[in-house]
Amino acid sequence: MESFYLVDISLPLNVYSYFLSIRMKKLFEAFEKPNLTDWKAQLIKELKSDNTNDPTGFENEVEELTFTNIYNPNGQILTFNKPNTNDWKIGVELQVLDIKAANQWALKQLNLGANALNFDVTQLQDLALSELLAGIETAYIYLYFTTKNQEQTEFIRTWFSNKTPLFLQINTTSNLVNTFQIDAIGGNTKQQLAFAFAKGKALLAKNPTEPIHFEFGIGSNFLLEIAKFRAFHILWDRIQKACETHAKTYVTAKTGFVNKSLHDPYTNLLRQTSEGLSAVIGIVDQLIIQPYDLLATTGISTFTERMAINISLILKEEAEINQWIDPLEGSIVLENYTKILADESWRLFQKIEVKGGMETSESEVFLQEEIARTRTKRIHQLNVKKQKMVGVNHYLNPETSNLHWKKEKDTFLGMNSLILEQEFEKTLSDKI
């Protein structure tokens, strides 16, 4: 007969814990330790599953990724060079058409809480910086300029040569990787990453010391978006080591309009908050929340302009996400997502490299075909309601909205920017 330990409750706690640990050890030894193979076999039997490899696996058709719900607690933790702080910049952006109007706009955004101004000056003939930055204390804010030619670039550098701005980044064709465009036309996460790596590597080859600015879109899959930014940091470190350089890298995350709704506009605040949160958890240098009605025929409202900045302020000042650096490191689910996405995007990147990198027409056509296939899947899943979007094809808003999308759109790789709500409306009108 098995003997039992009689423990005097008056014993010191550490002695009592010792006897308890012995008792628990005997208890666990009484059961056979399960293994993953036997557990899978039993699960297949009980679920009557045809998937003999992973009975709990699932596939994301749009992302073209296969995930597993079986997680190994002893799996690899992926690491990368992390910043000393996660205090991201709260950014706003404007294509400057009128200097005075742009100056008034910038002052207003700073008063609302932004601390990073992104000026696109490619449409200007006369770049009057003194007028554009009048009343703006550049020693306390972050400045980004996107220029159209070397003349504009040199003019900005010369103008700031005897000044001390807090931060100045001039975006040109030689240092900007605009991955946001891939997201805008309907590309998935691994296509965005593969494009970023191919384009970034090409820029490193031309000038290995110049800082590179990556601009990413943010999708709606919360965990996958965090994994996307983590995978980027991991693989970009690998590319830089292979190129034997360590150029400064700036990452901007920006919300887009693929999944936004004008019929049920307030759902966008939830979407934008989730998207912004995933980006800053994944670590970015700048977060730009675009007003969700930016592409509406009526233009942005005072409310959406303010909320675009307030989302970042809430994440930073109230949720205090900026106090944590890569807070989900070690999460079994997220580490698994990061590894799968890193592996798949790296394979796609290698296919682009085999075709000559993003500098060749062959690679451009290849990527165009890849994205077009993904775009078609997005539209199809929405139309058949396999992809359910509140306010778009599910739980429609009974109230009529006076907001409508603009017809003119930006294009990239021969495709118009994708807004799923517009596509769903087309499908409904075609059926009538």
**CATH for 227:** 3.20.20.240
Q: What single DSSP character describes residue 317?
A: I
Do the domain assignments include residue 354?
Answer: no
**What is the percent of the chain with per-residue pLDDT over 90, rounded to a whole number?**
77
- For 185, residues 6+ apart whose C-beta sits below 8 A from its C-beta are 371, 375, 411, 412, 413, 415, 416, 417, 418
The alpha carbon of residue 66 and the mean position of all alpha carbons in its chain are separated, in whole angstroms, by 19
406: nearest Cα among 395, 394, 416: 416
CA dihedral 210, 211, 212, 214 (to 10 degrees): -170
SS3 196: helix
Please give the residue range of the domain that contains residue 236. Answer: 173-342
Do the domain assignments include residue 274?
Answer: yes
What gap in Å lies between CA 35 and CA 21, rounded to an integer? 24
Helices and strands, number each (H, E), in the chain? 13, 12
Do the domain assignments include residue 318?
Answer: yes
Q: What single DSSP character describes residue 3?
A: -
Question: What digits encode the pLDDT tens for the residues 133-188?
Answer: 999 999 999 999 999 999 999 999 999 999 999 999 999 999 999 999 999 999 99
Residue 62 above 80 pLDDT?
yes
Which amino acid is located at 101 in the chain? Answer: A
Residue 339 above 70 pLDDT?
yes
Residue 27 above 90 pLDDT?
no
Overall average pLDDT of the 283-295 stretch: 97
- For 324, residues 6+ apart whose C-beta sits below 8 A from its C-beta are 86, 281
CB neighbourhood size of 21 (10 A): 10
Overall average pLDDT of the 93-113 stretch: 97
Do the domain assignments include residue 234?
Answer: yes
Residue 74 above 90 pLDDT?
no
Which amino acid is located at 195 in the chain? Answer: F
Residue 51 above 70 pLDDT?
no
Q: List, as one string, the DSSP characters of 126-164.
A: S--HHHHTTT--TTSSEEEEE-SSHHHHHHHHHHHTTS-
H or E stretch including 41? helix 36-47
Q: Which pLDDT score is estimated for 257?
A: 97
What gap in Å lies between CA 113 and CA 312, rounded to an integer? 9
Angle at alpha carbon of residue 82, lines to 119 and 344, rounded to 5°: 85
Do the domain assignments include residue 14?
Answer: no
214: nearest Cα among 191, 195, 227: 195
Q: Looking at the whole model, is its pTM more than 0.85?
A: yes
Q: Which pLDDT score is estimated for 381?
A: 96
380 burial via Cβ count (<10 Å: 0-12, 13-18, 19+): middle
What is the number of residues in the chain? 432
Do the domain assignments include residue 276?
Answer: yes
287: nearest Cα among 87, 83, 139, 80: 87
Looking at the DSSP assignment, which residues form a beta bridge with residue 286? 89, 252
Mean pLDDT is lowest, of 88-97, 284-293, 396-405, for 396-405
Looking up tokens 């495709």 gives 415
CA dihedral 214, 389, 320, 168 (to 10 degrees): 20
Tokens representing 271 are 């979407």
Domain end residue (candidates: 281, 311, 342): 342
Domain end residue (candidates: 294, 325, 342): 342
Overall average pLDDT of the 364-372 stretch: 97
State the total domains in the chain. Answer: 2
Do the domain assignments include residue 139?
Answer: no
What gap in Å lies between CA 241 and CA 257, rounded to an integer? 35
Average pLDDT, the chain: 91
Do the domain assignments include residue 397?
Answer: no
Question: What digits encode the pLDDT tens for the residues 211-263?
Answer: 999 999 999 999 999 999 999 999 999 999 999 998 899 999 999 999 999 99
CB neighbourhood size of 103 (10 A): 18
Same-domain pairing of 186 and 49: no
Same-domain pairing of 194 and 45: no
- φ/ψ of 71, rounded to 5, equals -115, 135
When pLDDT is cut at 50, 70 and 90, the band that residue 205 belongs to is very high
Q: Are 277 and 314 in contact (CB under 8 A)?
A: no
Tokens representing 173 are 């064709």
Mean pLDDT is lowest, of 23-27, 354-358, 371-375, for 23-27
Q: Which pLDDT score is estimated for 36?
A: 74
